[in-house]
Structure 1
Amino acid sequence: MKHINILHTLLLISGLGLGTSSCNDFLDKLPDNRTELDTEQKITKLLISAYPEVTANELFELYSDNSDDNGPKYSYYQLAEEDCYNWKDTQEEYQDTPNYLWQGYYQAITAANMVLKAIEQKGNPESLNPQRGEALVCRAYSHFMLANIFCNAYNSHAAEELGIPYMEEVETTVNPQYKRGTLKEVYEKIEHDLLASIPFISDDNYSVPKYHFTKKAVYAFATRFYLNYMQTDFSNCDKVIDYATRVLGNDASGQLRDWESWGKLTANDNVQPDAYIASTNKANLLISSTTSNWGILISNYMAGKRYMHNKLIASNETSQSSGLWGNADYLYVKPFTTSGYECSFIRKSGVYEGSNYLYYMPVIFNTDEILLYRAEAYALKKNYTQAAADITTWQKAYTKNKNTLTPEMIHEYYGKMPYYSPLTSLTPKKKIHPDFTIEEGMQESMIQCILHIRRITSLHEGLRWPDIKRYGIVIYRRFISDGYGSITDEMPVNDLRRAIQIPKSVILAGMQPNPRTNE
């Protein structure tokens, strides 16, 4: 089976225009590899490759307002960090770049499709139902991530928005042609695969469940998916609440991370990171192993800290900001920083070295994230009492403040908070311009609170960028010197750069690019 992944990865790369010339020698003829998957054991083993070995966390954090330009006394680790921070269509192709992510997610999709094809050729036996379910949800997840990277947020114009190619078959031709379709079509197909997978998922099929899509992990994915697949009438909010409750059970507080204990661990070496990503931690629903530089960038090494989360952002907007809980002294989790050092970060991942690459271990889904998705769905449905209850659960887990919050308390605090200005009013409350309607007053205050605490909780994990896109938040590029900043660029609500450009080689092969203002 050693050449299966290589062949079909090359086929896929060729079809999408990625390095076609370098692959020609391998594609003079197409050997039939289906006989390789002739046992259930081989099919199950191939499923490992259906989990992407790439992560968008670095890309999303660099694109978001969680990063500033900390000045030339710091350096970048790779040139792409400068390009991506400045929202440029980078031509770099190594790990963490859009090109690398495009290849990595489609490679995982190829493996999932090969598994599904092999199961079909065996007559879809019931004994392979768990593998079938896992392959379907893996395929859905990778397409979902590709849409998050290379498309706009789902909106009321999704039927006209560009999607990404949805791969449902194993490619058998040397130079296939793919079309992007619409964003609406992509989301419909993701939903189909996701829902089709749920009846087949079996937790008993895994030796280390946290590295696979268990039932809870699939429900967590469904929660995130339906929150992103938001209709203007909020009809999917009930699905968000339903799937989140399947994850959290009757007592969400008993499912969250023990932030107090974790925050007491030393930030030196890999102590905090190892504890954060532990498969034994009840809060972790799906863990992955990826090739990425992100682990070293958010480590206590002085590597690549120019475009990074810093003290200015931390103290006013994120990990050291004040909130309903009080000031930063009430937060259990303290960022790593030193005197005279501009950067500030939470030790969620360590530095793990392979033979040729740096590895990063992201937690793909966790219960704290799911709790805040449910709170948001409640707020969108104007069920403010339930939203406040979930926010209270978060506050009691993440902070020393054990007060029970009411909708009125939340509205009082965030309603009076001034809106953010990049130089003069550094608050976590930023004006929102979503495609759907958010009422002024109570509803906006609830959403502002949730966006604030999710930004704190998910710092460095890539979840802020989708929030920026979904809620139409204007963000800025700032050059920081001695704790003060100057504006170098801004990204308005409808900026075309919000849909990251597909790889240049794919465009040269004939695929329609994302539009840009200079075209």
Structure 2
Amino acid sequence: MKNIKTYSAALLMAWAFASCSDFLDTVPDNRAEIDTESKVTSLLVSAYPSYYPIMMFEKASDNTADNGEMYAFEYQQEQDAYLWNDIKTDTDQDSPQGMWNGLYMAIASANHALQAIEQMGNPASLNAQKGEALLCRAYAHFVLANIFCEAYDPATASTKLGIPYATKPETEVAPEYTRGTLEETYQHIEADLLEGLPLINDNLYSVPKYHFNKKAANAFAARFYLFYVKEDKSNYEKVLEYGKVVLGTNPARSLRQLQADLGPLTELDERGDAYISASVDANLLITPINSSWPYIYGPYNMAKRYGMNRTVTTYETLWADAPWNSNTLFYAFLNGMEQKLCFFKYRMYFEYTDKVNGIGYRHAVIVPFSTNETLLCCIEANILKAQPDYATAVEYMNEWLDASKGDGRYGYPETLTEDKIVDFYEGVGYTPIPVTDETKRTVKKHLNPCFSFVNKKQENMIHCVLQMRRIETIHDGSRWMDVKRYGIEITHNRDGMDPIVLTKDDPRRAFQLPQDVIEAGLEANPR
């Protein structure tokens, strides 16, 4: 939105916890009135988060290794995230400070839109905008919870710290907030999601994939209920319910076809543009973010200290052994160097403010929700629901494999069966903790979720879908969320020093709040 200023809410939520609260001594009120339907629609453009924690999540995950002091990093937060240190020095767009400010700014825009709709009398003509605002508010809080909170565990969620859930525009300069519990945070997210989802109307948008269209909203619901674990396993049925809306009765038709979509393209920027294209059926929501991530992970001679190097790629990610007997699904699509190999999906879009001096802003465009990822959510739900449906899970796995295969130069994946999956993971050793011999890395790690597996077969099926998720979401930051959800213990080696281990109960799985937020009085995460 270019012409509507909304300082009192769009800025105050970001500043609410700032230590320099004396910067404002009055509530600013020079905003334009949001008094027409078109203004509400315009305002919602800024309700989509322009910040996303890809860099933090990837560096903290087991997708990243230390290549040694001979190589440099661009931002201190790369090293801090890798070492699971609190990120205090960097406050830019990829930092916890940037996430906190940017996500609450998006929430503030959603709240302004909802307030304006209420003041207009909640007309039916604004139902779609109301649904979009509620979805945006729920999504931004969900992202914040995944950054600053621990994974949801029904046994402890009522005692674990949540995040402040903002439901109204602010009218004070320095309002007081409490974090509440993680259970309360998830209950608020669910309430917004359930209220907003039926109101979504794709006819509101000229390009639905730039907004929470019906499929994107249902994909969000499927992921939310996958993360929102219930002791009675009832939420897995909800994952399948919402996933079916996204995938239909023939999921294969909507999946990203790796070879067809990207195979003919040889230029990296062409592949980057094609990956996030609105014309690709698999892409459900497409959003721009402020980030340096495309440079950091990409095949460029920079930021080589911490990356997905050849060892991690060979033993754990895109070239690792797999039950489909082909470890080269993405072989033809990898670029980079020994220190950081990458499947190039997110290119850099640079916004110049001074072309002569090369000054400007770094942007990326990401795909927060896709049919491929939703399919994997449904696979996981079929495996874990009260009455597991392994047959459907394997059927979906084979559909994902078929869509992910390359041009055949490096072999096609074999069709999976339940027995083949179980036999493969039974024959793979767990990655040792700590890893002292890099060649001992494997795709199998001890899982410590908040629930118990019914048997070894169920655990091995989960190993398979987690490996698929790691491949599908490579460089997206999603692996870190899976590490958290499943209590996976991981090792980060350090050049010339002993390795460090992130244990299953390590409180550093929740990133620390920004320093000025803590100084303003909000309770810090335990350390």
Q: Secondary structure at the match of 1:192?
A: helix
Number of the residue aligned with 2:182: 183
In structure 2, the partner of 1:428 is 443
Q: Does residue 73 of structure 2 align to residue 81 of structure 1?
A: no
Q: Summarize deviations over 1:35-58 as a string: whole Å, max 9, x none.
A: 610111111100000001101111
Letter in 2 for 1:13: A
Aligned position for 2:6:
5
Q: 1:116 touches 1:132 (CA, 8 Å); kept in 2?
A: yes
Q: Is the 8 A contact 1:337 1:343 kept in 2?
A: yes
Displacement of 1:19 = 4.5
Residues 311 and 466 of structure 1, relative CA distance in 2, 3 Å threshold: same
3-state DSSP of counterpart to 1:362: strand
Q: 1:39 to 1:383 in 2, by over 3 A?
A: same
Q: Which residue of 2 aligns with 1:308?
A: 307
Q: How does 1:112-123 map to 2 (within 5 A)?
A: 112-123=110-121
The letter for the 2-side match of 1:392 is N
CA contact (8 A) 1:30 1:172 kept: no
Give unmatched runs, 5+ long, in structure 1. none
Q: 2:371 matched to which residue of 1?
A: 367
Q: 1:329 to 1:12 in 2, by over 3 A?
A: closer
CA distance in 1, matches of 2:58, 2:174: 35
Contact 2:305 2:339 in 1 (8 A): no
Among the aligned pairs, what percent are the same residue?
Answer: 40
Offset of residue 386 of structure 1 = 1.1
**Structure 2 residue aligned with 1:390:** 396
**For residue 72 of structure 1, what is the aligned residue in structure 2?**
69
Following superposition, the deviation at residue 487 of structure 1 comes to: 4.7
In 1: Cα distance, 2:234 partner to 2:378 partner? 14
Compute the displacement of 1:20 (Å): 2.6
1:405 partnered with 2:402: no
Q: Secondary structure at the match of 1:320?
A: coil
* Conservation of the 8 A alpha-carbon contact between 2:346 and 2:364: yes
User: In structure 1, what residue type is equivalent to 2:421?
Assistant: I
Tell me the equivalent position of 2:485.
470
The secondary structure found in structure 2 opposite 1:466 is: helix
Counterpart of 2:122 in structure 1 is 124
SS at structure 2 position matched to 1:359? strand
TM-score (norm 2): 0.93
TM-fit CA distance, 1:337: 2.8
Spell out, residue by residue over 1:298-332, the C-alpha distance to the aligned partner (whole angstroms, 9 max, x if none): 22221212111111111111111121222334556
Is 1:417 the counterpart of 2:428? The answer is yes
How far is the alpha carbon of 1:32 from its aligned partner?
A: 6.9
CA contact (8 A) 2:78 2:306 kept: yes
In the alignment, what sits opposite 2:200?
201
User: What CA distance in whole angstroms lies between the structure 2 residues aligned with 1:242 and 1:264?
Assistant: 33
Q: Tell me the amino acid that sits aligned with residue 271 of structure 1.
A: E
Q: Given the alignment of the two structures, is residue 105 of structure 1 paired with residue 103 of structure 2, yes or no?
A: yes
Q: SS at 1:336's partner residue?
A: strand
Of 346, 349, 352, the residue aligned with 1:352 is 349
**Which amino acid in the other structure matches residue 309 of structure 1?**
M
- 2:164 maps to 1:135: no
Q: Distance in 2 between matches of 1:266 and 1:478?
A: 36
Alpha-carbon distance in 2 for matches of 1:49, 1:450:
35
Question: In the alignment, which residue of structure 2 is the partner of 1:513?
Answer: 524
Aligned-partner Cα distance in 2 for 1:437–1:189: 27
1:227-242 mapped onto 2 (5 Å cutoff): 227-242=226-241
Counterpart in the other structure of 2:408: none
Distance 2:141 2:72 in 1: 34
| Alpha-carbon shift at residue 86 of structure 1 (Å) | 1.1
SS at match of 2:11: helix
Q: AA paired with 2:293? A: W
Q: Give the secondary-structure state (helix, strand or coil) at the position aligned to 2:369.
A: strand
Measured in 2, the distance between the counterparts of 1:208 and 1:6 equals 28
Q: What CA RMSD, in Å, does the superposition of the two structures yield over aligned residues?
A: 1.8
- C-alpha distance in 2 between matches for 1:125 and 1:303: 53
Secondary structure class of the residue paired with 2:10: helix
2:335 match: secondary structure: coil
Q: Secondary structure at the match of 1:361?
A: strand
Q: 2: CA distance between counterparts of 1:182 and 1:256?
A: 37
State the aligned residue count.
Answer: 506
Structure 2 residue runs of 5 or longer lacking an equivalent are 353-359, 406-410
Bigger shift: residues 388-397 or 281-290: 388-397
Change (3 A) 1:105 1:440: same
One-letter amino acid of the structure 2 residue matched with residue 9 of structure 1: A
Residue 31 of structure 1 deviates from its aligned partner by 2.1
TM-score, normalization by structure 1 = 0.94
- Are the counterparts in 2 of residues 248 and 367 from structure 1 also a CA contact under 8 Å? yes
Residue of structure 2 in register with 1:225 after alignment: 224
> Contact conserved, 2:8 with 2:170, CA < 8 A, in 1?
no
Name the aligned partner's letter for residue 283 of structure 2.
Answer: N
Q: Hey, what does 2:260 align to over in structure 1?
A: 261
Q: Is contact 1:333-1:398 (8 Å) kept?
A: no
Q: Which residue of 1 is the match for residue 355 of structure 2?
A: none
Structure 2 CA distance for partners of 1:330 and 1:228, relative to 1, 3 Å: closer
Alignment correspondent of 1:325? 324
Query: Residue 79 of structure 2 aligns to a residue in which SS?
Result: helix
Letter in 2 for 1:237: Y
Residues 132 and 296 of structure 1: CA distance in aligned 2, closer, same or farther (over 3 Å): same
Deviation at 1:426, TM superposition (A): 1.3
Would you say the 8 A contact 1:13–1:20 is kept in 2? no
Instruction: Provide Cα deviations, 1:65-110, integer angstroms capped at 9, x if missing partner.
Output: 1111111232111111111111111112111101110000000000
